[in-house]
């Protein structure tokens, strides 16, 4: 009996401790979703917070639980999450219109560089060839960057297209599961229109990429021809080789042994530059101030014998 009395006395304290523990757990730890409804609610919260990838995962888990009541709204929201995710990815990159404008401008510049190079080749004047060569290198660099941007944009568009196609199927599925859901039907139609627009944009980018690739090829060809005509000492510093020549450009080794073209009179062509031509050439050379090596005043430049191990 005494034991029972002790227990009764301790009961309020015990209850208080249990309640405190429960409150603490509720305040600090979020309860992990376990049922389809929990997954759906968690997904909806994430969708509202614009965490699309997390929302997609939650809705998929809600669907995988195979609960008939939860499936239609989860599928509808999954379509929303996927569509919004694709839209966000598309907005993070350059717009297809600006990219097209940029690509067209680069294409025009490359075309001009090609024409200048061709006329320099026809005139066979070293100074003009050097200038055209430098101009061509600049145009090629710009083409490279635009081509890379187009590639990235096409990849983003491709990923978005996959997401939107899935979103369209999700909305169609939601309408199939719940025929009364006219919103799902309407959303499927809207996503379909967006898909058409995206496919058109992708086609335009493909054409742009093809045009840029062709210009790149022509430019490489003409630069190779000019590089073959310019004697090694007259080649602009840093012009051949390097990372710009990875796709068919002139390699330093290939220039070795080439002789300067001999004029009709049998004398080598002298390099005579007018002040304007010299200015043009100098403007063509981009100087990167940030990459200057530090000057060393103490080192004489003599070769130092290395002693010890070579590793």
Q: Which residues bind other proteins (CB under 8 A)?
A: 60, 63-64, 66, 68, 71, 75, 166, 169-170, 172-173, 176-177
Q: Please identify, using beta-carbon distances, which residue of 86 and 249 lies nearer to other proteins.
A: 86
Compute the least distance from the CB of residue 62 to other proteins, in Å. 10
Q: Please identify, using beta-carbon distances, which residue of 74 and 114 lies nearer to other proteins.
A: 74
Q: Please identify, using beta-carbon distances, which residue of 63 and 143 lies nearer to other proteins.
A: 63
Compute the least distance from the CB of residue 57 to other proteins, in Å. 13
Q: Please identify, using beta-carbon distances, which residue of 127 and 160 lies nearer to other proteins.
A: 160
Mark out the alpha helices in 49-181 (DSSP H runs): 52-64, 71-92, 96-123, 126-177
The DSSP output letter for 247 is T
Long-range residue pairs from 242-248, CB within 8 A, at least 24 positions apart, any chain: 244/137, 244/140, 244/141, 244/144, 247/216, 247/220, 248/220, 248/221, 248/224
**Nearest one of 23, 144, 164 to 87, comparing CA atoms:** 164
Distance (Å, whole) CA 308 – CA 209: 54
SS3 262: strand
Q: Please identify, using beta-carbon distances, which residue of 66 and 300 lies nearer to other proteins.
A: 66
Compute the least distance from the CB of residue 114 to other proteins, in Å. 49
Other Cβ atoms within 10 Å of 137 Cβ, number: 24
SS3 268: strand
Compute the least distance from the CB of residue 168 to other proteins, in Å. 8
Contact 129, 250 (CB under 8 A): no
Compute the least distance from the CB of residue 79 to other proteins, in Å. 11
Compute the least distance from the CB of residue 151 to other proteins, in Å. 29
Compute the least distance from the CB of residue 74 to other proteins, in Å. 9
Q: Please identify, using beta-carbon distances, which residue of 82 and 216 lies nearer to other proteins.
A: 82
Residue 210's contacts (CB-CB under 8 Å, 6 or more residues apart) are: none
Torsion of CA 168, 45, 63, 172, to 10 degrees: -20
Contact 141, 244 (CB under 8 A): yes
Q: Please identify, using beta-carbon distances, which residue of 40 and 133 lies nearer to other proteins.
A: 40
Contact 172, 75 (CB under 8 A): no
């Amino acid at each position: 009996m005494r034991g029972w009395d002790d227990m009764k006395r301790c009961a309020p304290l015990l209850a208080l401790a249990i309640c405190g523990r429960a409150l603490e757990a509720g305040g600090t730890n979020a309860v992990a979703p376990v049922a389809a409804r929990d997954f759906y609610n968690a997904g909806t919260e994430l969708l509202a917070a614009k965490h699309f990838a997390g929302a997609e995962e939650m809705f998929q888990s809600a669907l995988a639980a195979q609960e008939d009541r939860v499936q239609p709204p989860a599928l509808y929201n999954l379509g929303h999450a996927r569509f919004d995710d694709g839209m966000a990815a598309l907005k993070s990159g350059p717009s297809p219109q600006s990219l097209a404008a940029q690509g067209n401008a680069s294409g025009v510049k490359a075309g001009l560089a090609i024409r200048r190079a061709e006329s320099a080749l026809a005139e066979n004047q070293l100074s003009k060839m050097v200038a055209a060569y430098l101009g061509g290198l600049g145009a090629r660099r710009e083409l490279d960057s635009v081509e890379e941007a187009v590639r990235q944009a096409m990849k983003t568009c491709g990923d978005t297209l996959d997401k939107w196609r899935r979103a369209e199927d999700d909305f169609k599925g939601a309408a199939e599961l719940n025929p009364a859901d006219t919103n799902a039907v309407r959303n499927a139609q809207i996503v379909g229109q967006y898909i058409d627009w995206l496919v058109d944009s992708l086609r335009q980018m493909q054409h742009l990429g093809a045009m840029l690739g062709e210009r790149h090829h022509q430019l490489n060809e003409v630069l190779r021809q000019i590089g073959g005509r310019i004697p090694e000492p007259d080649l602009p510093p840093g012009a051949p080789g390097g990372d710009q020549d990875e796709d068919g450009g002139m390699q330093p080794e290939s220039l070795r042994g080439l002789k300067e073209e001999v004029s009709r009179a049998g004398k080598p062509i002298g390099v005579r530059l007018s002040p304007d031509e010299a200015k043009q050439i100098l403007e063509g050379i981009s100087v990167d101030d940030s990459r200057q090596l530090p000057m060393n005043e103490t080192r004489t430049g003599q070769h130092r014998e290395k002693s010890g191990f070579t590793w």
